[in-house]
Amino acid sequence: MACREDATSDCCRPAVVRAYQEMRGKGQPEKFCLEAAITVYRWHHPSPDNLPPEVMAMVTGWVRQGLMH
């Protein structure tokens, strides 16, 4: 199920963070975990091939904040 068209919507945040955390929990490299999180985000927010840098930063922030809780 896709989120609103607003690319800053965080309706998919729990799924993005969960994908990242579950892969990290299985010992996967950081790079692969972040790629998985971005893939989940893109599933919720279909967009052109290249995500804007601010979206990449937002997703990275979500997963890093998830590590603090």
- Give me the long-range contacts of 34-41 (CB less than 8 A, separation at least 24): 34/59, 34/60, 34/63, 37/62, 37/63, 40/12, 40/15, 40/16, 41/12, 41/16
Closest C-alpha to 17, from 36, 30, 4, 32: 36
Q: How far apart are CA 11 and CA 26, in angstroms?
A: 25
pTM of structure: 0.80
User: pLDDT tens across 5-50, in order?
Assistant: 555 667 899 999 999 999 999 999 999 999 999 999 999 888 777 7
